[in-house]
Amino acid sequence: MKIVVIGGTGLIGSKLVTRLGEQGHEAVAAAPNTGVDTLTGEGLADVLTGASVVIDVANSPSFEDAAVLKFFETSTGNLLAAEAAAGVRHHVGLSIVGTERPPARGYFRAKVAQENLIRESPIPFSIVHATQFFEFTRAIADEATDGNTVRLAPVLYQPIAGDDVAGQLGKVAVGSPLNGRIDIAGPERFRMDEFFRDALASWDDPREVVADPHAHYFGAEVEERSLVPVGDAVLGTIRYADWPGRVPAAK
């Protein structure tokens, strides 16, 4: 089966291409650096020729509210139109746990717009909602840093390994379209401030983690269950303590 992975050279996309190839599928990485640009439409018709499934894991280069909305609306609109012309039978989109709740963050609003385009398209689809990735732990800590203090909300947090995300996306892609969504999350649930306190300790990082109910998470306050699934979810198998990238090579 030919499966095109949009964003196929990135963090999740590259893992997907490798996994699907090992399973015997013709997995094609599509990204600007392979000659496929969903913002302009360049290369889409060619790469989608003969494709049965498209998995979209592309991300916006900017998280500014207007820019990220424009990216997902333009990219997804162009992609779905090209898929319809090529006869693609299953569109799989990666999104974020919590977008079905009123979104305060611009990035979440942009993902809602993307999901709406997918649902309104005639192409059978599956949407996978994932929690935050282990791989962004350091970036989140840095974003929350003020001087020598890391301010984080004491809310529920259930991050997942990128390998688990790729594994679940691959399973969904080769199955029948859900015409709906599933939630995926890590196998363990933490308090966000406690998770990062332990993470920084493992890095020998001297910054102090402070629990602040009003701390912003990428631009907005979060509530107790904003970052975790509500209801059923498929859980990954990799615990953070066992994840190879837990302790960065560089201090």
Position 39 in a domain: yes
Position 206 in a domain: yes
Position 104 in a domain: yes
User: Which residues have CB under 8 Å from 52's CB, separation 6+?
Assistant: 1, 2, 3, 88, 89, 90
- pLDDT value for 96: 94
249 close to 203: Cβ distance less than 8 angstroms = no
* For helices 162-174 and 11-22, angle between their N-to-C axes, nearest 10 degrees: 50
Position 249 in a domain: no
What ranges in 62-182 are assigned the alpha helix state H?
A: 65-86, 106-120, 137-143, 162-174
Q: Which two tokens stand for residue 33?
A: 């650096």
Position 61 in a domain: yes
Q: Into how many domains does the chain fold? A: 1
- For residues 68 and 74, give the distance between their C-alpha atoms in angstroms, rounded to a whole number: 10
User: Comparing C-alpha atoms, which of 168, 136, 145, 173 is closest to residue 28?
Assistant: 173
User: Comparing C-alpha atoms, which of 5, 123, 125 is closest to residue 54?
Assistant: 5
CB atoms inside a 10 Å sphere around CB 224: 11
Per-residue pLDDT of the chain (251 residues; tens, 9 = 90+): 999 999 999 999 999 999 999 999 999 999 999 999 999 999 999 999 999 999 999 999 888 889 999 999 999 999 999 999 999 999 999 999 988 776 567 888 899 999 999 999 999 999 999 999 999 999 999 999 999 999 999 999 999 999 999 999 999 999 999 999 999 999 999 999 999 999 999 999 999 999 999 998 877 888 999 999 998 999 999 999 999 998 765 44
Position 251 in a domain: no
Range of the domain at 110: 2-242
Position 38 in a domain: yes
37 close to 7: Cβ distance less than 8 angstroms = no
In a 3-state reduction of DSSP, which class is residue 229?
coil
Which CATH number is 197's domain given? 3.40.50.720
The structure's pTM equals 0.94
Q: Is the dihedral of CA 16, 39, 91, 83 positive or negative?
A: negative
Position 250 in a domain: no
Torsion of CA 136, 17, 74, 176, to 10 degrees: -110
- For residues 103 and 111, give the distance between their C-alpha atoms in angstroms, rounded to a whole number: 10
- pLDDT value for 250: 45
- pLDDT value for 104: 63
